[in-house]
Every structure is written in C-alpha cells, then in structure tokens.
Structure 1
Amino acid sequence: MSKEIKKVLLFIPPAFTFKDSPDVNPLPPLGLGYLGAVLENAGIEVKIVDCLLEGWNNRVDVADNIIRAGLPFDRIEEIIRNYVPDIVGVNNLFTKQRENAHQIYAVAKKVDKGIITVAGGAHPTVMPELVLADENVDYVVLGEGDDTIIDLVGVIEGKKDLAALDGVGYKENGQIKIIPKTKFIQDLDRLPFPARHLLNMEGYFGLKHSHGTRKKKRFSPIITSRGCPAKCTFCSAYKVWGRKFRQRSPENVIAEMKEMKEKYDIEEIMFEDDNTTLNVQRAEKLFDLMIAEKLNFVWDTPNGVAAYAINENLIDKMKQSGCYQLNLALESGNQEVLDNIIKKPLKLEKAKQLIKYARKIGLEVDIFLIIGMPGETKEQIWDSFHLAEELEIYHPFISIATPYPGSEIYDICREEKYIPEQFSLDDLFIRSFSISTPDWTGEELKDILKQGQRYLRVSFLKKHPLRFIADSFRFMISSPGKFLRRALIFVLGRWNLND
C-alpha cells in the first residue's frame, strides 16, 4: 500500500554517559543535515531535533554511574504528536546507545501506527537484522543515505519498485530482508550543502566542548570527503562510508565555507572527515583557497589526520589557513603493532619528524593512541606510553581497543574467545576493557592504563614543573571534580619519581 510522504521528522536520540565524567557532547549533526537538504530538494518538509542538545541539562540516573542526557521521552512524544510526520528517522551511531533510538521508534508507533520508522547510522548499518527485529522499526538504511532516502520515499509512495533500492533493510510477510549496500556516491559535489537552517545552530554556539574543546564561540563541523582505503583492524567506519576515498572539489568546499561565514558568522570549523589531507594536492589547493579568500577561520581536525599522507609543505599551508592544532592518529608506539596488528600504513619515524616540524612553526600537537589490541603484548602497550613521553605529549587521547561489530577485531575476538561468554552489546564503549588475551586480562589492561597515565604525569612534572603547575591550575578551574579525582590518583598511586 502506497503512502504520500509530505513531512519527515529526524532525530538525534538522547545518550547514555558516565555521571562522574560525561563522554558525550552535542555536535551539529551534518549527516541529518545532508538528509534534510536532499529531502527538501525533493519537496518534502523536514524537521530535525537533536535530543542531546535540546535536553542537554536534563540528566536522569539509569544505573550505577550511568545517566541519560537529553530530552525526556514524553517531550519527544509531544514533538511527534505536534509535527504529525509521515516518517520518523533516527540516527543511531553507537551500539551502546541503541536503546534510546528504539525508544523513539516505540514512541512514534504509540503516537500513530501509520508513521513509518527508519533507522540509520553505524549501528543499524552493521547490525540491520538486530534492529529490524524490533516490531517498531520498518526500514533500515545502510551506510550513506543521501540517495537511498529519496529512493526509499519513492518506493513508499508507490512510484518506484523495490529493485530501485540499494542498502536497505525491510520486512516482507514477517521476514527480514536485507538489500546489501553496493553503491556509493562518487560525485560528492552534486550533493546540496547540509541544511544547517534545520539545525539549532545558536544552541551549539558557545558550548565549551563539542568534539573536543572549541576555541571560538561560533563553530561548525564540515565534511570534505568520504571513505577510507586504510584497513585498520579496530575500525568499522568502512561499513558506513566504504573503502574507496571520495572527495569534494576544493571549490565546492570553499563555497560551503562562504555560506557558513555569511549565514552563520562561523569563526571556527572542524574538519570531521577522517581523510581531509589524504590527497595532498587537493588539500594544498583547499588551504591555498582558504588563504586567498581570507576566510579567517581557526580550525582543527578532531578525528585526526593520516600522518602517512602529509608533509612539511602541507603543514605550512595548514597553519597559514588557520589550523591551530595538528592531531595525528598514530595508534601505537610500536612499529610491529602498526604493521602487523593494527595494519595502518604509518611509519613512526616520519610521524616524529612531522611533529617536530609542526611544533617548530607554532602548531599545537596531539596524538591518538589505542591500546589493548588482540596480539599486542604488555611491552608493546608500554611502547605507546614511552612514545608519548618521548614526544612530550603528556595527555594523549587513549582509546581501549573495543570489538565493535563490523571491525576485524570483533571477528578475531569471537573466534579466539577473547571476549567473555556473557559479553553484551552494552559493553561496547572505549572504557569497557572487554577483551582479555593470553598476554593480559581486561583488569590487567586497566591497571596498565592507570600506570601509564601516572608515568606520563610524573614525566611532565619532572621535565616541565612550571608548565605542569600551570596546566594543573587551569584544569582545576575548568573541571574541579575531574581534577580532584586525578590528583588523588596521582598522590596515592604507586609511582616512583626515579622510575
């Protein structure tokens, strides 16, 4: 039975986080912005609600040290009733947050059984059967949905046949059907710019933390490419964006930047794609145009850049165009781990030279590390802390290897029984320590992390006592609770200044 689609309501759901140290914060959802733009171009009315932003100060205890942040579900129900949508879509990025997404599907069906519910995002992409097992979910969109959502609307309206769909899960006579994702958009320039007018941009402005600490009040993310050819074993992003690197032209990106400046007075941008600088020639042209057009943004890359694909000339252009911090996804301080376990095409010696040069020209530098990979020894884990100390980066961003569905390490952990039999999808977060191998247990890994962090703080104090004091004072003023916990660990921990 066909149904005319006039109005679509898209949600970012509330989120679970830690009560004592929240690890989520609102970020303008460009994915939904793109969907909103293509739907509007098709003549469909769209509303986007970021439940995390709109209910940011609403915190509800749900378990020991776990809270739900965001709009309460009775308010979400009220929004759905008042808007009277034909489709309700939810962007569910993380498996651990799936319950909040499914609550919205249930609320939508409670309001009106005729509302069509659509699940999108990383979690439904890698686990579509699990999501469709919920009676309140009608469709799943796998991977990028800009073209798919339009085709799906055509099918729902009876204007297109199911054969037109690519990357969609649905139900037929009670049976779950999955049409695999085989097509990715090659010409990204043909897409409209994200519909930021559908986002509460003023609500984001002024947030101190939005995918990192922001330098300016008026900020916005931007995405200049999709897809990643690297085959890092901990990553499942390729399931969403594909392996092939696809890029927007520098001119197209500049046009969006100008719109951001003119319509929203944006002062800071965050390049959210994983591979902004993968094509060095394109990146150089983009940064040259940013300089020539005098856009005067400050910017960084919260997801990091690939150290294997940049050089000193490019770093110069990054700095000149407004970059204030070079974030490098090094992942490990051990070359063997990078080559044979993580499988990242990166040489640490090159990375060290790039960091040295970036500091020379006045850029701040940070690194991303991941510890606890299956096959990694305790000694190799410590090499990552030693690398950070050598580079004098005393607060690197350290993730714990987590077996996300869709990643190679998920398959390894299941095959080798590195995750417990009682393993739950609720254990999928970067501080879960859910993996245990013949080399170490999850509890031992937790202890190594604490020891490694103490080692870096003591090294910082020994090498740069005045900077350590100044850094600690700033941290105490900005985050007194976290400062107290860190200070207690530092004072009471088992460390030796002579180690």
Structure 2
Amino acid sequence: MFDRIWPQRAIRRVLLVTPPDADAGLFRFDTAQRGRYTNYPPYGLMLLAQVLRKKGIEVRILNLNHALLKHSHEVEKAEDFDFDGTWRHLLDAEIAAYPPDLCGVTCMFTMTHASLRRVCAAIAEAKVPTVVGGVHVTNDLHRILDDLETPCAAVSGEAEVAFPILIDAINKKRPSADLGQVVLNDGPGRHLAFNRDLRPDGDDLDTLPAYDLVPIEEYSRHGTIGAFYCFKPQETIFATALSNRGCRAMCTFCSVRNFNGKGVRQRSVSSVVDELEYLTNERGVTHVMWLDDDLLKDHGRAIELFNEMTRRNLNLTWDATNGVLAASCTDEVIAAAAASGCIAVNIGMESGNREILKSVRKPGTPETFLEAAEVLRRYESIHASVFLMIGFPGETMSMILDTINVARAMDLDWYRCSQLQPLPNTPLYDSMVAQGLIQAVDKDIRFNGGAYGKQTEIEQGLALGTPDFEQAFSSIPMDSIPTGEQLTDIWFFMNYHLNFHRIFHETRRVKIEQLMAHLRVLGDVISPENGFSLYFQGFLQYRRDGRVDPVVVERLQRRLDSSPYWRDRFHAFGLAAEDLTTLDFRNRDKPRILSKLKL
C-alpha cells in the first residue's frame, strides 16, 4: 500500500490543515462579522509540527477556519463573500506553492464533518495523500474513513508519537510493526488497524508548540477563544495553553477518554510557565484559556503552577472554559488561582439529582457542588459558572427540578444549560442505542448550543420555537420524562430562572460590572437583540447609576414589537419594556410562571 501511494517512499514535506468549523450552509456572514464564531489556534497541529520539524521534515500549517473568519472582516457585504471559493482558493494556492508529500487534516467537532469531507476531497483532487485525525475522527474512526473515502490513513487520539512513526514507516526508517493508533484505509471496509497505545508521556509532553507557524496575534481579532472574552477589552490578544492531558473522571457522556486515554498526564510546571512567558513577552498575549479537561487534578501541582505564574509576574489573566472538577475547588487552590490571574472558571456539575449523577458516573454529589460554590463565592474577582445538562435517559421533570434547586442554592454567577447530545463511541451513546432510546446518529451531529447551534437560530428568529411557551411549559407532568420539544422549553425556563431572574437581587459592585459586560456581549455579539439581555442591562444600569439608558429601552421595545417569540416569553415571565421606564419591577421576587413548581 505504501509503495502504491508513495512510490519513492520519501515524505519530506507535510501540510497540516484545519477545515472550516462548519460548511457554507450553516455559516452566516453577519455572525462572522460580529466576531461571534470561535477561532481557536490549532494547538494540536502546532505540537505535531514541532515534533515533525525535529525529525527534519518541513511543515506548514493552514487554518482554513481562521482564514475564512479573517476574510469575512475584509469584505463589506455578504454578496462579496464566497465561502467555498475562499477556502478552496487558499488550499489550492498553498498546495501549488508548497507541494506536500502528505496532508494531515484534523477535525475536532462532529458538526465539522461535512467540511472535513469537502476539504479531503479537494486535497485528493490535487493528488496529495491525506491522513486524518482529531477528536471527531477518533470517536467514530472506521465509519468516518469509509465516508470520506479519500484519506489513506487515520490516526486516533494524540498524534505526536503515532504520526511521526507512521511517516518513518512510509520512509522505510521503521518497520510497520512499530505502528500504533493508526488505521490504514485501502478502500471501503478494507481497514488495517494498528492499535498499540502510543500516547506521548514524560518529556514528550514538554514539547512547546510551533508558534512561529501561526499568526497567534490575529485569532481573537476575528473570532472568539473560550467563553469569557466578554470580560476582556476588545483589543486583548488571546491564546490557549495545555498544562496536562486527560481527566480523572469517567463520565459516560464524555469522549475525553477516547482521545486522551485513562488518567491524567502532566507537563512539568517549568515548561508550562516558559510557554506562557514566551506568549506574553514575544507575542503580546495577555489572556490564556486553558485547554485542560482536568486543570486542578493534582492540588499541589496546580498551586505550584499558579504560584510560579505569580512569581514570574506575568502580565496575564486566564480562564478555565473547559471546566474544573468541583472537588478540586478548595480554598488554597482557588486563592492561588485568583492571585495568578484567574478571572473565570466553569464547574462541571451537569445534574443535581443523585440518581442521575450515579448513572452517568459523574464525580461529585450535591454536597460537593455546594461546598465548591461556597469557596468560589469568597473570590468575587472570579466569575464562576456551572455546566448543567438535561435530557439524560430516564430523567423526569422532578429530577430536573433537583438540578434547578441545587443550582439555585449554589448561587454562582451563571449557568450554562444544554441538552444531552450523546457522542458516538461513548458509554452513554452505546447504551442508548442498545436500549433503542436513540438511533445511530449521523457523522455530522449539529449541536443545540454555540454559534452554529439550533437554539441560537430560534432566539434570533431564524427558526421557530414553541408558540405558546407558558402553556407548553406548565403542561409537563412532574413524573414524566420530557420530550425533545419539551426539553427546549425547560432549557429556556432554566436559562431565565437561574441566570436572569437572580440579577434582580444582585447588589455586589464587582458582580454587577461582570454581569453588565456579559450581557452587553450577549445582546450585541452572541444573540443580537436578545430580549432578556436588553431588559437586564437596563435593570443593572438602574441598580448601578439610578437611571436606564433610553437607547436600551428603545432597542428592547423594537425587539418585542418585531418578535412574537420574545413577546410570548416576556409575557410568560411577567416582564415588559415599560418596567425600565416606570422602574416598577413587579416580578422581581417570583416570576408568575413558577406558581406550579416547588422551588
């Protein structure tokens, strides 16, 4: 097979490619111009490039997602923006200027599958062999290879050891018996798998990414990095960093173990802080999002890391968008985090019901989450939000209320509610398919949340929501398992009750400023003219300044006049634009839709 594909058996040049996050059908020009789409630096490809260059292989990185977002800011009108033509021209030009012997294409998200397929087909037209990898490919490797058809191989999991060995085998420098985490694709259904575990460990983890191959300064200018960009000035240069790999948890809905394997492997603290120092001193970065799935796994090491960041006096703030485990949020750890520049964290809670927590093997109990919240409330400079999930198998409405009640008792700053979307090759997905609860899903699952999500389209009036929210929500029996449509209504209720209604009772100056920054971005960038965002921006202005900006009132009234969706929901919760002029917030104590619930 190698002889057929590489007759000379010599790979000297490699082009590493990141496809657009979604295809043209989902991409919206106005959303891109607002800077709403995520634009993460290709951290994994930068690590891989550094390893390959140490072996004498010439490497380039082409991030088509970044290139598209950048181009969207260079043209004025949507009709002048050609999504497919832009990325295809860039790809063809790069291959022509730098003819590679091999292209490596990564894919992180299931919703990127259609984009991955098109990019791989375009590379095949250029007669360049392709190897694919990344989280999405790892989760459903054989089906994806058959669907793509064109790649000659796939690498599962982390590739810094496995991919160079594959290249060595092609170049006749190592026997094929050394291969691992690789599936060779000799046609549909004709796969040869080498399953040896070759994940990097020890000194390999201290490899610094090839930052010289990426214009890191541009990324946050044309898109978002992490969940907390609202708290930083618009000109802030963002980057990402990875302190350790893997997660100690074994949540059945999570695919981290598929990609990273069991347990947690840690870099040396000195190498991590050296990387941060380079980013601040050489590239002007002043904020970093940790990519870690279990940043605080080792309390002593976490404190050592944060203390070293403080000792070196880095001009840097950071956030943990991917989440931290509640059990690790001790006073000592959070104090060190705050001192080192932490401005925000997400807590992985998911459910407040003991039965659900046990069934999905989520580490933690309601008591664990409440204890973590008690610690985090003592550090006002840290914006603490919580991941919540609904729609687990067998989860009744009353179980969801347990989640709502625990979240209320935690009294943290924001709650990121989502509906369960089981990913292929996770224990929960396999169990639900076996029980007939779901059908085997397509390879390009589209998420409900996020910039490309279905819920965003509903809020913007681009898709329909439940026409009479109050009636639909009130009709859900407490002992029933909600339908998919009902889960959307429950999500909306949770979002209002846990995030917005609690703003009526916020009096701390620091938190008011945090909330105003968050709501401005929510109403201007994330979900333009979001009714709740505008209403509570006005309320917080009144709380802080004693007056409401008339422009906010006018924007809200226009939104309600033009959107039956928002009019219905404002009626359900007893809100009106005139509240911001009369300053009579009559539903501040209890929204009237709560009359049937034991909250």
Distance 1:121 1:234 in 2: 18
Aligned twin of 1:63: none
Give the superposition deviation at 1:490: 5.2
- Paired with 1:314 and 1:481, the residues of 2 have a C-alpha distance of 34
Contact 1:90 1:120 in 2 (8 A): yes
Do the aligned partners of 2:277 and 2:314 also contact (CA within 8 Å) in 1? yes
The corresponding residue for 1:272 is: 291
Change (3 A) 1:116 1:405: same
Q: Who is 2:494 aligned against?
A: 452
1:495 aligns with 2:573: yes
Instruction: Look up the match of 2:19.
Output: 13
Distance 1:472 1:91, change over 3 A: closer
The CA distance in 1 between the partners of 2:413 and 2:303, in whole Å, is: 30
Please give the secondary structure, in 1, of the residue aligned with 2:254: coil
Structure 1 stretch displaced more, 206-215 or 357-366: 206-215
- TM-aligned CA distance change 1:70 to 1:89, over 3 Å: farther
* Contact 1:249/1:282, CA 8 A, preserved across alignment: no
Q: Deviations over 1:150-209 (max 9, x none)?
A: 101111112222111011010358721122252322215554201111112121143562
One-letter amino acid of the structure 2 residue matched with residue 360 of structure 1: R
Match of 2:528 in 1: 482
Per-residue CA deviations over 1:343-368 (Å, capped at 9, x if unaligned) read 11113323323323323232221111
TM-superposition CA deviations, 1:35-84 (whole Å, max 9, x none): 0100111111111111111111567xxxxxxx979943233222222221
> Which of 269, 282, 303 matches 1:284?
303
**Are residues 1:97 and 2:112 paired?**
yes
Note the alpha carbon deviations across 1:239-278, whole angstroms, 9 max, x for none. 1100121101212212222222232122111111111110
The 1-side partners of 2:55 and 2:272 are apart by 23
Q: Give the alignment partner of residue 53 of structure 2, picking from 33, 40, 47.
A: 40
2:195 aligned residue: 180
Alignment counterpart, residue 319 of structure 2, candidates 254, 279, 300:
300
Asked if 2 retains the 8 angstrom alpha-carbon contact of 1:142 and 1:181, the reply is: no
| Aligned-residue offset at 1:124 | 1.6
Structure 2 residue identity aligned to 1:482: P
- What is the CA-CA distance between 1:99 and the residue it aligns to? 1.7
| 8 A contact 1:455–1:495 mirrored in 2 | no
Q: Give the distance between the partners of 1:238 and 1:187, measured in 2 at CA.
A: 19
Task: Work out the percentage of aligned pairs sharing the same amino acid.
Answer: 27
Q: Report the Cα distance in structure 2 between the residues aligned to 1:279 and 1:394, rounded to whole angstroms.
A: 26
How far residue 285 of structure 1 moved from its aligned partner, in angstroms, is 0.9
For the 8 Å contact 2:153–2:185, the answer to whether it is kept is: yes
Amino acid at match of 1:11: V
Alignment of 1:24-423 (within 5 A): 24-56=37-69, 71-112=86-127, 115-133=128-146, 134-172=148-186, 175-188=190-203, 191-207=206-222, 209-214=224-229, 215=232, 217-338=236-357, 340-362=358-380, 363-393=382-412, 395-420=414-439, 423=441
- Give the direction of change, closer, same or farther, for the CA distance of 1:160–1:260 in structure 2 (3 Å limit): same
**Equivalent pair of 1:51/1:70 in contact (CA under 8 Å):** no
Whole-Å Cα distance in 2 between the matches of residues 470 and 149 of structure 1?
46
SS in 2 for 1:170: strand
Closer/same/farther in 2, CA of residues 89 and 189 from structure 1, 3 Å limit: closer
- In terms of mean alpha carbon deviation, does 347-356 or 226-235 score higher? 347-356
What amino acid sits opposite 2:17 in the alignment?
F
Conserved in 2, the CA contact under 8 Å of 1:403 and 1:410? yes
CA distance in 2: counterparts of 1:309 and 1:457, whole angstroms: 24
Report if aligned partners of 1:143, 1:240 keep a CA contact under 8 Å in 2: yes
Cα offset, 1:375, TM superposition: 2.4
Tell me the amino acid that sits aligned with residue 291 of structure 2: E
1-structure distance, mates of 2:262, 2:433: 24
Q: Secondary structure at the match of 1:304?
A: strand
SS of the residue 1:360 aligns to: coil
1:62 counterpart residue number = none
The answer (yes or no) to whether the contact 1:93–1:122 under 8 Å persists in 2 is: yes
Q: Provide the C-alpha distance between the structure 2 equivalents of 1:209 and 1:395, rounded to a whole number of angstroms.
A: 19
Partner of 1:429: 447
CA drift at 1:316: 0.5
Q: For 2:259 and 2:141, how far apart are their aligned partners in 1?
A: 12
Q: What amino acid maps onto 2:432 in structure 1?
A: C
Structure 1 residue 15, shift from structure 2 partner: 2.0
SS at match of 1:101: helix
Question: Structure 1 415/425 Cα, relative in aligned 2: closer, same or farther at 3 Å?
Answer: same
Question: How has the CA–CA distance of structure 1 residues 428 and 414 changed in structure 2, closer, same or farther, with 3 Å as cutoff?
Answer: farther
* Segment of structure 1 superposing worse, 100-109 or 28-37: 100-109
Q: How many residues align?
A: 487
SS at match of 1:479: helix
Q: Alpha carbons of 1:12 and 1:82: their partners in 2 closer, same or farther (altered >3 Å)? A: same
Contact preservation (8 Å) 2:39, 2:220: no
Are the counterparts in 2 of residues 12 and 92 from structure 1 also a CA contact under 8 Å? yes
Shift of 1:480: 8.5
Q: Gaps (5+ residues) in structure 1?
A: 60-66
Larger Rg computed on CA atoms: 2
What do residues 2-34 of structure 1 show as CA deviations (whole Å, max 9, x unaligned)?
521111111110122464878741011110010
2:156, 2:182 within 8 Å by CA — same for their partners in 1?
Answer: yes
Q: Which amino acid aligns with 1:344?
A: K
Structure 2 counterpart SS, 1:233: coil
Question: Can you list the C-alpha shifts for 1:71-119, whole angstroms capped at 9, x where unaligned?
Answer: 432332222222211111111112221121121221112112xx22010
Whether the aligned pair in 2 keeps the contact of 1:300 and 1:323 (CA below 8 Å) is: yes
Q: Which moved more, 1:67-76 or 1:443-452?
A: 67-76
- Structure 2: which 5+ runs fail to align? 73-81, 455-478, 533-555, 575-590, 595-599
CA distance in 1, matches of 2:132, 2:447: 21
Give the TM-score taking structure 2 as reference length: 0.75
Q: Equivalents in 1 of 2:497, 2:47: separation in Å?
A: 44
Task: State the alpha-carbon separation in 2 of the partners of residues 135 and 346 from structure 1.
Answer: 43
CA contact (8 A) 1:312 1:357 kept: yes
CA drift at 1:383: 2.6
Question: Residues of 1 paired with 2:205 and 2:258: CA distance?
Answer: 22
Deviation digits for residues 416-471 of structure 1 (CA, Å, limit 9, x no counterpart): 111247x43334424589xxx98222112112112222333562254349959957
Distance 1:69 1:356 in 2: 50
Between the aligned partners of 1:273 and 1:180, the Cα distance in structure 2 is: 25
